[in-house]
Structure 1
Amino acid sequence: MADLVGPRLYSCCNCRNHVALHDDVISKAFQGRNGRAFLFSHAMNITVGPKEDRQLMTGLHTVADVYCCDCCVVLGWKYERAYEETQKYKEGKFILEKSKIVKENW
């Protein structure tokens, strides 16, 4: 009997806590603090830190770092506000750094 495989997802690289579904990837062409990053429409099992204004490559944004809720590793950030009209689509979305997540069920 074949094993049932659940949805493809991403987990925290430190503790394997599930943090995002592959179906929620919007783009894999983003830059994080430490290299490539993915833009997700949703994230789970995370804690959102305090909001702060940060100058990013695409302009000024209000962001909040996101942490794994189990081991507290910083995984990326959440876009709270974009000040430039062309960047508004990022509001409410999550950046997870490729180096901080691992694939599960692939």
Structure 2
Amino acid sequence: MGRLYVTQLDGKIYSCKHCQTHLALCEDIVSKSFHCKHGKAYLFSKVVNVFVGPKEERMMITGMHTVADIFCICCGSIVGWKYEAAHERSQKYKEGKFILERFKVSGPDGTNYWISPEAQITGSDADDA
């Protein structure tokens, strides 16, 4: 493997909760109203310091999507996924955007979210419908 280049962000940032690598800026949040099987998730227009896994089809509450998991480039932890394609016309706005799962990242003030017992029981955008 070659040399690892890590982008440092300035401002209010979200970072990997395991290694504190910068992932995204607060100003790049598109929506905070997403949920995954572990709780809250945020939709970002762009992220840095991640590598994208293989594409796969997933049935989510909002319909079928082509997605790829995203991983921290420093520690390899899965931090969310990228929407490659949405099959429903109403979901096309997600294409090319990224989900960061809140329990997998540290917030701008250094806080971490933890999985609540209810989060595993309720439905999510990432769960099979």
User: When the two structures are superposed, what TM-score results if normalisation uses the length of structure 1?
Assistant: 0.91
Structure 1 segment 34-49 matched on structure 2, within 5 A: 34-49=38-53
- 2:89 is the counterpart of 1:85: yes
Structure 1 segment 1-106 matched on structure 2, within 5 A: 6-104=10-108
- Deviations along 1:58-96, one digit per CA (max 9) or x if unpaired, are 000000000000001000100000000000000000000
Task: Return the alpha-carbon distance in structure 2 between the equivalents of residues 104 and 34 of structure 1.
Answer: 20
Are the aligned partners of 1:75 and 1:100 in contact in 2 as well (CA < 8 Å)? yes
Aligned-partner SS, 1:37: strand
Please name the residue that 2:7 is paired with: none
2:52 counterpart letter in structure 1: V
Are the aligned partners of 1:19 and 1:45 in contact in 2 as well (CA < 8 Å)? yes
Gaps of 5+ in 2: 1-9, 111-129
Q: How many residues align?
A: 101
- Deviations along 1:19-57, one digit per CA (max 9) or x if unpaired, are 001100011110123111000000000010000000011
Give the structure with the higher percent strand. 1
Give the fraction of aligned pairs with identical amino acids, expressed as a percent. 50
Task: Return the alpha-carbon distance in structure 1 between the equivalents of residues 108 and 84 of structure 2.
Answer: 28
What is the deviation of 1:105? 5.7
Are the aligned partners of 1:49 and 1:65 in contact in 2 as well (CA < 8 Å)? yes
Are the aligned partners of 1:38 and 1:97 in contact in 2 as well (CA < 8 Å)? yes
Are the aligned partners of 1:39 and 1:95 in contact in 2 as well (CA < 8 Å)? yes
Task: Return the alpha-carbon distance in structure 1 between the equivalents of residues 62 and 56 of structure 2.
Answer: 16
Task: Return the alpha-carbon distance in structure 1 between the equivalents of residues 35 and 107 of structure 2.
Answer: 19
